[in-house]
Structure 1
């Protein structure tokens, strides 16, 4: 049955694009050109709207005001908000206000399909082609990998292509990002599905035992070898061998691994003849292998043999769109495992807290935090108090679920005047021993926050009179150009005008986009 999706978007082009995407998914789209009109549709249609797709930046009544109005009227329809930049403060504000999920403009059809599908599951509507949540088991299909971000959709697209052959794959990424899960999905999606999937953590094996564990040994091959041992390659024969932390493999063993990859045969310790094996090799590393090659810790010939199809899996802090989905998935799994009478829910404040945190331990750390909360919680709804280890690392307002919300003013850009930025507070959210680097956009935002208070635009002139609108507008445009480093699409979007209008105003005021503080000719 087709779902009813309400699109609240002030840009007519975006409305047409989103309507087309929704209709191609088999749903029915209803449109509203601003927040006030969207509320009218909701009040008129009531429960017949299944999902709301809400733009945050709109004139008259912005997305935050709409979310506040929905909460005030007890309208529980899941709202997916659209943010133009995906800045952490904007996202946290939206989640705190009750947003179910968020997408970053321009949203792809794949990302929109995931968001709508998850929202429909939340509202209890059946979803075409939907699958049940998996418990933590060995068999992982691609549809079991919980993902919502564009980055992870690309990762899974690459992994599906890799599954169509036996090409060697290297999965790159920090510890805890889900490399083994992607490897298992590749195995399940390949013609080796149902065959052995053997994992080896190369960094956890003593150096003097690596060769024996990988390739096996004959009885009496060395002191203590009282029995014959087949080895992991033989165990994985016909299936897949997953070598985790491949960068920690000793150089002496790398020579034998190269032969196994090149010729499909292994040399068992103590055996006189090599043994043929049919193994699909998937490797994983949290190191930069090319750097390891340059510094002589990894063989260059082995690197090029293994790194035929590299897939980089981004850290969780780089794909915060996945956090709400992962949180709900873990809550559901752990509620079931604990045999609770009712699956726990999670408050808007707690979801904002979890979205704001940077998760240096990635998905593994998030999973652990949710497990602890589900087991220890005293109430059916998880709140910020159920995550004390996170709440103490964030600003007091956020930790107590009270995020400064400019409900009576238009939404301000990330780090802008009038609302405290969370970037400074979030810098303390990461344990010092595992401090992840800030992204370029975060560094730019932090620099902007430091200087923005000195760039406030006065509304009164020296004589005590209200300044002319044109003067204030010119200064605001100059400020926006500097604040967003001359990114014209971003400037136009944040100012709430079209690009053509922005260029016309630049010409009218004699503003050079490359030098916004130059004097008019």
Structure 2
């Protein structure tokens, strides 16, 4: 593979000096670009990518210090080596304080310049690799797009961290609206296949005949309307990941073909006789009880075992109500920004209602509820007035823990959640910890922290 040729930009108002540097540095394999003064740098960089800048300090229209400041202000991070006369070394040191990588005195020693350039480029490469590594580490195994601090979610994150880097097939289970596709996305993103395609298909959304064509593709003339050969989702996901949602809605016939791909990596397109091979990691999800379906003959047991090499269950929202304040805050901020509304938070009365709702639609229902509330909200806080009618059942007692005009933080929300749940459960700490989805000792620590007794 051809190595990338580093591009250097010479910024100097003396044409003979630029020519001398260009000839010498080109012999080292660098690609050399040049401009004649500092005021030309930013317009030039707007159209050209460079790896390093050689910047003269003394120029007619814009000096090196001013140019360096402009580069920093514009957000350019490529290394800058300052060229200066002996008499202005102090200015060169000042330039380094402003972000220059190093300085070279004139007349330039070409060998010294080459070493400094190599050192600067190596440093920049290490810096970029380090930043890239930090980004990967921040994303990897933290699954920052999935919100949840409850023990049930933390246990799920631990399983995800172990399974994501492997090639194992994963079966994701959970009620509708719990975020199964989000988990599948996180697994692919944190896997060695993350540069490959991530293909999704909802098996419940298609009729059986169309589903087979979508999965395996079809040959021209295989059925009415099939005017040309078409690749299926398995072929499209080659070297990547295929996510099959609602796999419990698949017929036994299609299940058999899926099993063959998992076992042998082979399939035929609909209407075709040629055997095709694929390299695909399969993730599957369902809200159904597949084991119960096995007993009734609706789902193949051997396919179930193949799919559930690593089973991951996403708890229902009512089973981790301690996560509701953070989730609600996330959706509030998202939809407030989207609708250009200045909403500060959620009033304790409204939060109490959110906490004690059963959430049959889980996170999807919570998101829709907060979007609706944001649209209807005319003040700085979401109040019970913006919540749907089903939230008002006679057994919910609402009592504000804070004045309506106060700054209501996530910490305040957590305190109110614990207070309200304790109150509802007659101060029974074991029952409260179970309802909140946290350990009893964690609850006791929170009660002490928030002075709730």
SS at match of 1:192: coil
Structure 1 length as normaliser, TM-score? 0.51
Q: Return the offset for 1:346.
A: 1.3
In the TM superposition, what are the counterparts of 1:324-403 in structure 2 within 5 Å? 324-340=325-341, 342-395=342-395, 397-398=397-398
Partners of 2:222 and 2:256 lie apart in 1 by 20
RMSD: 3.3
Partners of 1:317 and 1:392 lie apart in 2 by 17
1:235–1:393 Cα change, 3 Å: farther
1:158 alignment counterpart: 159
* Equivalent residues of 1:385, 1:391 under 8 A apart: no
Unaligned runs of 5+ in 2: 1-133, 403-420, 448-453
In the TM superposition, what are the counterparts of 1:94-493 in structure 2 within 5 Å? 142-340=143-341, 342-395=342-395, 397-398=397-398, 415-416=425-426
Partners of 1:353 and 1:415 lie apart in 2 by 15
Partners of 1:130 and 1:304 lie apart in 2 by 35
1:388–1:302 Cα change, 3 Å: closer
1:6 alignment counterpart: none
How many residues align? The count is 286
SS at match of 1:143: coil
Unaligned runs of 5+ in 1: 1-128, 404-410, 422-439, 446-488, 497-521
Partners of 2:272 and 2:142 lie apart in 1 by 38
* Equivalent residues of 2:268, 2:275 under 8 A apart: yes
* Equivalent residues of 1:148, 1:322 under 8 A apart: yes
1:250–1:390 Cα change, 3 Å: same
Deviations 1:218-243 (A, max 9, x none): 11012221222211111111111111
1:370–1:265 Cα change, 3 Å: same
SS at match of 2:321: coil
Q: Return the offset for 1:380.
A: 2.0
Partners of 1:141 and 1:154 lie apart in 2 by 12
Q: Return the offset for 1:395.
A: 3.2
* Equivalent residues of 2:141, 2:161 under 8 A apart: no
Q: Return the offset for 1:130.
A: 11
Structure 2 length as normaliser, TM-score? 0.58
Deviations 1:46-77 (A, max 9, x none): xxxxxxxxxxxxxxxxxxxxxxxxxxxxxxxx
Question: Runs of 4+ in structure 1 displaced over 6 angstroms?
Answer: none
* Equivalent residues of 1:242, 1:281 under 8 A apart: yes
Q: Return the offset for 1:273.
A: 1.3
* Equivalent residues of 1:140, 1:188 under 8 A apart: no
Partners of 2:295 and 2:396 lie apart in 1 by 46
* Equivalent residues of 1:141, 1:189 under 8 A apart: no
Q: Return the offset for 1:379.
A: 1.1
* Equivalent residues of 1:149, 1:319 under 8 A apart: yes
Partners of 2:172 and 2:218 lie apart in 1 by 29
* Equivalent residues of 1:238, 1:278 under 8 A apart: yes
1:518 alignment counterpart: none
Partners of 2:355 and 2:180 lie apart in 1 by 21
SS at match of 2:334: helix
Partners of 2:351 and 2:324 lie apart in 1 by 9
